Amino acid sequence: SAFEYGSRVGVWRVLDTFKEYSLPITTFTCAAAAEKTPHIIERVLEDGHEIASHGLRWITYQYMYRETEREHVRRATEIFERMLGRQPLGWYTGRDSPNTRELVAEQGGYIYDSDSYADELPYWLNVKVEDGQKIARKPHLVIPYSLETNDMRFASSPGFTNAEPFYQYLKDSFDTLYEEGDKNGKNEPKMLTIGLHCRIIGRAGRITALKKFLQYITSKPDVWICRRDDIAKHWYENHPATADNSANWM
């Protein structure tokens, strides 16, 4: 029932908060859950947010057979195409397998995935893709996620016990990156990913952390608060894949 709270109460509180500040977000959404809550999908799209695929179901794929996972990727993509009228551009499983990234790249149409915690900025990988009897490599963009600036730490130990330390941690993270980004006038790109869950941050006693943080960062100049597909498009245009910045994956 804690998960159900997210779809009954928390999601509306979170969406209302971002609407109050007119800010766009990316939602990681499981396809099976989307089918059961079309009214939420409608509101998310109405508010101008991105829906990225969170897989077919919220299960662990670590030891799943490759063919079974391939079918899950295909089915999730089909469900979103039917519900959204187009394929999502982003993918994040979170409980992925060694095959996930290759299968997402093989499916095609996804311009990034976020199944990584390895960096603070997007980066390129050359991913193996099966094409009939051939195996080729193609550039694939990874936009890392974060488990640090994440409300899941309300549910882990050591973690946050109330809204104030969560807000302070987000603020400290932002302040450091904000300073580094324009240190000595270099204007270097910096990215802060914040992970939120409707069943967690959507609680009445925790949403205040989000509201205070949004109020703080919207008061700062030269801050781009955007969706992950916007980051991906920016990276494709300004930092395209090259032989020098693309490592081989697997």
Model confidence, pTM: 0.94
Instruction: Outline where DSSP puts E strands in the chain.
Output: 26-29, 50-53, 90-91, 112-113, 123-131, 134-142, 246-249
What is the C-alpha to C-alpha distance for residues 147 and 197, in angstroms, rounded to an integer?
A: 12
CATH class of the domain at 2-145+227-249: alpha beta
Structure confidence at residue 249 as a pLDDT band (50, 70, 90): low
Judged by DSSP in three states, 233 sits in helix
Q: Is the pLDDT of residue 132 over 80?
A: no
What is the C-alpha to C-alpha distance for residues 210 and 98, in angstroms, rounded to an integer?
A: 34
Strands 112-113 and 123-131, bridge-based pairing: unpaired
pLDDT, tens digit, for every residue of 45-85?
Answer: 999 999 999 999 999 999 999 999 999 999 999 999 999 99
Q: Is the peptide bond before 158 cis (omega within 30 degrees of 0)?
A: yes
Higher pLDDT, 149 or 247: 149
Please give the mean pLDDT across all residues of the chain. Answer: 95
The average pLDDT across 181-210 equals 94
Q: Where are the domains of the chain?
A: 2-145+227-249, 151-217
Query: In the prediction, which pLDDT does 185 show?
Result: 80
Q: What percent of the chain has pLDDT over 70?
A: 99
What is the C-alpha to C-alpha distance for residues 13 and 44, in angstroms, rounded to an integer?
A: 12
Query: In the prediction, which pLDDT does 186 show?
Result: 78
**Cα distance between the two ends of the chain:** 39
